Structure 1
Amino acid sequence: MPNVQEKQLRWYNIALMSFITVWGFGNVVNNYANQGLVVVFSWVFIFALYFIPYALIVGQLGSTFKEGKGGVSTWIKHTMGPGLAYLAAWTYWVVHIPYLAQKPQAILIALGWALKGDGSLIKEYTVVALQGLTLALFVFFMWVASRA
């Protein structure tokens, strides 16, 4: 049999996957657009104090509890008990309510940039119409998610 090499992830593949998962390019673009070059200091600060420790902690816990199917809840259940695991799962769920609620608006903003080349599309609608569009988009995605 010919010499077969195992496929391996290189450090830069893992670093990019971690960056996209934890931080994402959207945060880079949005923060740069809002704050300009001043944001570079906060990126370095956040990278050192949040991103690197978070990636190392998740990597360690993920490799320690390979059999767990609940992610953060499983890790906390095995390390700190079921009460804190429930609290972690609950807070994770609560945090996602506003996160998911703002996604349709972000889609409308991106659609405006794609169609008009600027962010003025949503400014053309009244607040009630924009809320209605956002709600309709949210309900549509909920319907799609319920079918999958």
Structure 2
Amino acid sequence: MKERPLLGGDAGDRFLEVAVGEGRHRLVCTAVLAGEDVTVVVSGGDRPHVGAVAMAVPRPSLKDPNKTSATASVLAVTGHKDDELARAISLRLAAELSRLVVVVAGVHVDGADEDDIKKITANAGQAAQRLVEALRG
């Protein structure tokens, strides 16, 4: 795992980079803070790209108003499946951090099969957890 800590810049911007996995299943997640809002770029695979963008806004849970949930809006490039990754990560971060979160995702693995997708999804979950832990601290 490669992590670069949050750093202060001239304008007070901060970022955190987390890398999870190996080879074609390796994901790099770079979080940039703009005030309290968070933008995360998720890239990896054989050909990183921009495949989808999701924005999640925290809100009280509909089942339990004492808990925080989130609602997401997603834009996807036609033919790409990155919307599922972007949506899941944005919802998780927004709910757990109570912050507005934008996720830009682009992970392409040539000839990906079900096992490849499971590994990428698992790595995305691990990366999201590490981001939550770092951004809470």
Q: TM-score interval w.r.t. the shorter chain?
A: under 0.3
Larger relative CO (CA 8 A, sep 6+): 1 or 2? 2
Q: TM-score, normalised by structure 2?
A: 0.25
Max Rg structure:
1
| Higher-strand-fraction structure | 2
Q: Which has the higher helix share?
A: 1
